[in-house]
């Protein structure tokens, strides 16, 4: 490993990206509930308030609608706000500002105004936070033209995609899985970006393509390693960006493997896997398929508090193994 590449946690990578952006451009500032002295609900902002002061690391009142509205308005004036929701579920309280304002202002004003706001959403299950604090709502926002929606799966991408989001002239919604915050990985020092709208092939394979998002990328990689011992060679594609989706990478992978399994934590119905499946079915890759497309998503239920029930509502490695075997062996 290059000497300039350190091991940072996912949370540390995000914090470093925000600090670099704030050092480089005084227009960048942070907003959110308890992000100041407390350091954020998941301690991601940490000591940034001590480094940059309360005028640039702003604790907001308990009003997601109000805070998001201020962030959108500030972005329209040329500032570069980063607004943190304590939980992604609380986006439901600010949908007016996200969907009707941030996403549409550039279009409605003929391109004369940009809305370069970044919104961060701690998302997903696994913390015992129950039904109102454990959802994965990225497909909701991915449905809206005018928004860009990303799901970094590694510390490297968490830093690079956040820096790309800050530089983007349009609203970027970042969904950060809460269980990834402590995951460590190599993160270069200094400024770099990871392109929004570009998927990453995490593992090459020839028998099956698994398109996965967020924490499911790591579960898919674990499953792929196990399947290798059974003679099943799996290609794992990290979607990274929900909107705009990287169709070219997915189609190329499916044409190579002739099978597709979509794995995501959000509820299966009307989820990201449906869009990926339809996109492949409408493309030239359809003629290469040797088995029906598989979707492995969350159960049709709110997330339970009980830890065992909570695990049962979202895909786990054994579920991916079973679905992959079915596609490669059961229907070939």
Catalogue the E-assigned strands of 147-288: 148-150, 172-177, 184-188, 200-203, 208-212, 234-238, 241-243, 260-267
CB contact burial 26-65 (16+ within 10 A = b; e otherwise): ebbbbbbbebbeebbbbebbbebbeebeeebbbbbeeebe
Q: Name the burial class of residue 222, with classes exposed (0-12), middle (13-18) and buried (19+) by CB atoms within 10 angstroms of its CB.
A: middle
Catalytic residue flag (residue 64): yes
Tell me the backbone φ, ψ of residue 58, rounded to 5 degrees.
Answer: -100, 120
Residue in 16, 33, 133, 177 annotated catalytic: 133
Task: Specify whether the backbone of 183 is left (phi greater than 0), alpha (psi in -120 to 50) or beta.
Answer: beta
Catalytic residue flag (residue 143): no
Total residue length of the chain: 332
Strands 172-177, 208-212: pairing kind = unpaired
Quick check: 107 and 144 in contact, CB under 8 A? Answer: no
Residue in 33, 64, 84, 176 annotated catalytic: 64
* Local structure of residue 244 (DSSP, 8 states): S
CA neighbor of 123 nearest in space, from 139, 132, 138, 136: 136
Strands 57-59, 28-32: pairing kind = parallel
Catalytic positions, written as ranges: 64, 133
């Amino acid at each position: 490993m290059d000497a300039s590449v350190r091991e940072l946690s996912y949370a540390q990578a995000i914090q470093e990206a925000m600090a670099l952006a704030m050092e480089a451009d005084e227009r960048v500032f942070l907003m959110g509930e308890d992000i100041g002295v407390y350091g954020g609900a998941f301690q991601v902002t940490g000591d940034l308030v001590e480094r940059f002061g309360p005028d640039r690391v702003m604790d907001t009142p308990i009003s997601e609608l109000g805070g998001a509205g201020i962030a959108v308005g500030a972005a329209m004036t040329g500032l570069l706000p980063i607004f943190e929701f304590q939980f992604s579920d609380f986006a439901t309280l600010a949908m007016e500002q996200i969907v009707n304002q941030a996403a549409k202002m550039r279009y409605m004003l003929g391109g004369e105004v940009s809305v370069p706001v970044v919104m961060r959403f701690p998302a997903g299950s696994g913390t015992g936070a129950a039904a109102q604090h454990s959802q994965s709502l990225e497909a909701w926002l991915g449905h809206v033209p005018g928004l860009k929606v990303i799901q970094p799966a590694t510390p490297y991408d968490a830093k690079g995609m956040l820096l790309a989001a800050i530089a983007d002239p349009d609203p970027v919604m970042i969904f950060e899985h809460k269980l990834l915050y402590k995951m460590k990985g190599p993160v270069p020092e200094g400024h770099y970006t990871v392109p929004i709208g570009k998927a990453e092939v995490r593992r090459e394979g020839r028998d099956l393509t698994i398109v996965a998002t967020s924490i499911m990328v790591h579960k898919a990689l674990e499953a792929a390693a196990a399947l290798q011992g059974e003679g099943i060679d799996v290609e794992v594609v990290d979607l990274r960006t929900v909107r705009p989706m990287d169709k070219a990478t997915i189609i190329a992978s499916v044409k190579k493997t002739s099978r597709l399994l979509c794995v995501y934590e959000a509820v299966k119905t009307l989820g990201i896997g449906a869009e990926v499946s339809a996109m492949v079915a409408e493309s030239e890759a359809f003629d290469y398929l040797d088995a029906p497309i598989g979707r492995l998503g969350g159960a049709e239920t709110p997330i339970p508090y009980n830890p065992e029930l909570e695990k049962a509502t979202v895909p786990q490695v054994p579920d991916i193994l079973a679905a992959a075997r079915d596609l490669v062996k059961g229907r070939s």
